[in-house]
Amino acid sequence: MSKPKRVAIVAAGINKWGMRPDATFRDIIAEAGKVCFDNNPKVSNKDIEGLVTSGVYPQRSGPQCHPSPVACEVLGVQPRLFQNTDCQCQSGAVNMRIIWSAIVSGLIDIGMAVGWERILVPNQGERYINAALACDHDWEQGFGMTPPALFALPALSHMEKYGTTEEQYSKIAVKNHTHSAKNPNAHFQKGLTLEKAMGARTVATPYKLFDCCVNTDGAAAVILCSEEKAYEYTDNPVWIMGWGQGYTNWTIGNNPKDLTDWQGVRMSGELAYKMAGITSKDIEIAELHDCFTASELIEYEELGFCPKGEGGRWVDDGGNDYGGDVVTQPRGGLIGCGHPFGATSIAQAHEIYLQLRGEASERQVEPRPNIGLGQTMSGVGTQSMVTIFGSDDTQH
């Protein structure tokens, strides 16, 4: 592959995530969009040439189809490229990649990726439908399985194959809640003790309450810009160094036979590292897809942060936290922040943008990191997207 043009993030914003019965999806997009434009006063809404929304459930959070022009009207953007995109939990990353592609191809110079979800409806049956829709309609939904049960299957397999313990899973939840306590935009800000995590009610064995992320209402936005224009908007851009997307299969019956073998995640990491010209050893901070604690642990292994099967030991050694090899989930991950599907990858990008610029306040990783990784996943390890971000120092 020839070297594509460089693209940078020049502004990023996020709103307060949580239960938002007081706000419509237009309100939520307005909040995050406003924060994003306020983040860099040199960028005007009138400058934006492309706007892509990522919302997985617009038909269930309005209901509204075709939400991208709604966002354009809300934010006062007159684009010549606009669309909505849905790739379930990877939606925000594929959104940013659409804007990136449009810039690389020369269609536009500057574009905005806006992700959101408004999903916390008060009716339990409807919430069940939202969860079930992520599974195959004909061959999974009707059987009553939802993501906690599906993602519990590899959690048990990892315990049986590698001796990983429920306590090691809980330690990941404690880390992520500890980080999100320092993040004013996170759904959860009270921290968590290991005792409370281990004593919580069971959701789907071996998962207890805090092993699971929650769906939440929220939005996030980033503005991407061509290398020709980036320094007109900021003297400290954060660069997209690489993307990788992996796919092995859709229905869970067709997953690799070893349920702990998350080839889709591994493939996404390998492709992204190759495009960025780096290895896993270069990653200093990572925002991973911790829909459940075992997901994060298996991702450590597949992305090369620790050897296969040693995720539990790496957790015990603190390799995954401040002071360790890779600071994982500095914003608190999905477990600490909540998971508004269409916004999550963009919120990861927002956090890494702050961290690589040294603007993450209480959560700032020291010394200031130069290379960060974002990863989101749909399917149980079978579909994954990795983005590598580099500080401006990496480009000179």
Q: What is the pairing mode between strands 207-208 and 110-117?
A: unpaired
Considering the rule CB under 8 A, would residue 200 count as an interface residue with another protein? no
Per-residue mark of binding to another protein, 253-272 (x: CB under 8 A): xxx-x-x-------------
**Site size for another protein (CB under 8 A):** 42
Considering the rule CB under 8 A, would residue 111 count as an interface residue with another protein? no
Among 91, 146, 263, 348, the residue binding another protein under the rule CB under 8 A is 146
- Annotate 147-177 with b (16+ C-beta within 10 A) or e (fewer): bbebbbbbbbbbbeebebebebbbbbbbbbb
Give CA–CA dist 30/39, Å, rounded: 14
179 is catalytic: no
Considering the rule CB under 8 A, would residue 214 count as an interface residue with another protein? no
**Of 65-73, 129-137, 232-240, 292-300: span binding another protein (CB under 8 A):** 129-137
Closest CA to 265 of 278, 280, 253, 277: 280
Helix H or strand E segment including 53: strand 50-54
Place of tokens 């969009």: 33
Considering the rule CB under 8 A, would residue 94 count as an interface residue with another protein? no
Minimum distance from residue 166 beta carbon to another protein (Å): 13
Considering the rule CB under 8 A, would residue 141 count as an interface residue with another protein? yes
For 199, residues 6+ apart whose C-beta sits below 8 A from its C-beta are none
Contact 394, 278 (CB under 8 A): no
339 is catalytic: yes
Place of tokens 């919430």: 127
Considering the rule CB under 8 A, would residue 66 count as an interface residue with another protein? no
Phi-psi region of 233 (alpha: psi -120 to 50; beta: other; left: phi over 0): alpha
Show contacts with another protein in window 25-44 (CB under 8 A): none
Closer by beta carbon to another protein, 27 or else 136 = 136
User: Pick the catalytic residue: 158, 177, 289, 339?
Assistant: 339
Minimum distance from residue 132 beta carbon to another protein (Å): 5
Considering the rule CB under 8 A, would residue 131 count as an interface residue with another protein? yes
Considering the rule CB under 8 A, would residue 201 count as an interface residue with another protein? yes
Minimum distance from residue 349 beta carbon to another protein (Å): 29
Closest CA to 336 of 174, 199, 217, 169: 174
Considering the rule CB under 8 A, would residue 213 count as an interface residue with another protein? no
Please provide residue 248's backbone torsions phi and psi, each rounded to the nearest 5 degrees. -115, -40
Among 24, 73, 80, 128, the residue binding another protein under the rule CB under 8 A is 128
User: Pick the catalytic residue: 36, 89, 306, 337?
Assistant: 89
**The dihedral sign for the CA sequence 33, 34, 35, 38:** positive
Place of tokens 């939904």: 141
Considering the rule CB under 8 A, would residue 174 count as an interface residue with another protein? no
- Catalytic positions: 89, 339
Q: Which residues bind to another protein, rule: CB under 8 A?
A: 124-125, 128-129, 131-132, 136-150, 152-157, 160, 201-207, 251-255, 257, 259
